[in-house]
Amino acid sequence: MWLRCSQVLNVTVNDETRPTVSQPDVILVLDEGFAKILNENLDTISKKASFSDSTVEFTRNATDRIDTIRINRRSGAYAENRKLTSAATGISATVTGSCERIDPLARKF
C-alpha cells in the first residue's frame, strides 16, 4: 500500500515553542507481508513495523536521531516523535500531518 503523508515540524527548545515549519510530503510504502516500511524508491527505511487494524507503527534511525512514527489507519493522522541521539538537551521535535492512500501507477491526466 502506498501513502502520501503531509508533514509539519514542531520544535521546542528549553520549553520555548518555535514556529511550525511545513515539510515536503513523504511517500511511504507499507509492506505488511514482510512487516517493513519502504520509501518511494523502494529502499527499506524500517525493517520492523507493527501493523494492526487501527495503526501502523515503526521506527526510523537517522544519523543523529531516532524517529518513532505512528499512522492511524482510520483517520490517516500521522504522528512522529524525534529523539536526538546527540548530547543536546532541552530540544524536542514532533511531526504531525495526515496520510492518504495513493496509486503510483494511476494516470494524472
Instruction: Name the CA radius of gyration of the chain, rounded.
Output: 15
CA distance 91 to 66: 13
- Band of the pLDDT at 13, cuts 50, 70, 90? confident
- Band of the pLDDT at 88, cuts 50, 70, 90? low
CA distance 85 to 83: 6
Q: What is the fold of 2-102?
A: Porin (2.40.160)
Look up cell 521546542; give the residue: 12
Residue range 18-47: average pLDDT?
93
Residue range 12-35: average pLDDT?
91
**Domain residue extents for the chain:** 2-102
Q: Write down the pLDDT at residue 35.
A: 92
Is the predicted pLDDT of residue 87 greater than 80, yes or no?
Answer: no
Residue range 26-32: average pLDDT?
95
Mean pLDDT in the chain? 90
CA distance 84 to 73: 27
Is the predicted pLDDT of residue 3 greater than 90, yes or no?
Answer: yes
CA distance 64 to 45: 15
SS3 63: coil
Is the predicted pLDDT of residue 83 greater than 90, yes or no?
Answer: no
Is the predicted pLDDT of residue 91 greater than 70, yes or no?
Answer: yes
